[in-house]
Amino acid sequence: MMNIIAQLNILKAMELKPNFSELAREYGMDRRTVKKYFEGYEGKPKTKNKTSKLDKYFDEIKAKLAIKGTT
C-alpha cells in the first residue's frame, strides 16, 4: 500500500496525471481506489470517538463501588 501512495505522491509533485487503470493493474486494486488515494484519502481512522453507554452512570457506579464489601 505504501508503494502506491509513494508513487502517487511523486506523480503529484511532478504535476502529472497518472493512468489510474494502469496503476490499478500493477498493484492489483480497483482504479477508483487508486484515484481516491491520489486525491488525498488516508484510510479509515484507527479509533472512533464513541462514548460508552455506561458513561452517564459513571458517578453512580463509582459511588456504589466505594461501598465497603462490594465488587
In this predicted model, what pLDDT tens digit does every residue of 21-41 receive, in sequence order?
999 999 999 999 999 999 988
Determine the pLDDT at residue 30: 95
Q: Give the span between the Cα atoms of 25 and 31, in whole angstroms.
A: 8
Say what the pTM is.
0.60
The per-residue DSSP string of 8-66 comes to: HHHHHHTT----HHHHHHHHTS-HHHHHHHHTT-----SS-----TTGGGHHHHHHHHH
